[in-house]
Amino acid sequence: MLDRANALRDVLAEYEEEKSVEASRLDGHRLRRAKLELAREALVEHGETAEAERLKAEIREIDHHIQASEDKLARISSQIALYQRTLDQLTRNSPRS
């Protein structure tokens, strides 16, 4: 029979890895958004309104990616907390060897 505590530790490690990857992705989206916002501001200052509007649309699209990443991170964190509580309960209730 599979050792439940070790299996839960493995699941937790996988979720922690997924959380790290998603956090990196979110950082990338935020950095890209900041760069595009600076570029858009420069275009506006120089009267390039059409190109500034195009960038504004791109920024909105990145905002959607940011929101999706934040939502995914929240779900992953919730799952990690649930599995951690389960592991804690399991280890508290297991007989000591």
Work out the pLDDT band at 26, boundaries 50, 70, 90: very high
Q: Would you list the domain boundaries of the chain?
A: 21-88
Residue 45 CA from chain centroid, whole number: 34
This prediction has a pTM of 0.85
Does pLDDT of 81 surpass 80?
yes
Q: pLDDT tens across 35-70, in order? A: 999 999 999 999 999 999 999 999 999 999 999 999
Contact partners, residue 3, CB within 8 Å, separation at least 6: none
Does pLDDT of 5 surpass 60?
yes
CA-wise closest residue to 33 among 73, 61, 68: 61
Kindly report the backbone phi and psi dihedral angles of residue 15, in degrees, each rounded to the nearest multiple of 5, phi listed first: -70, -40
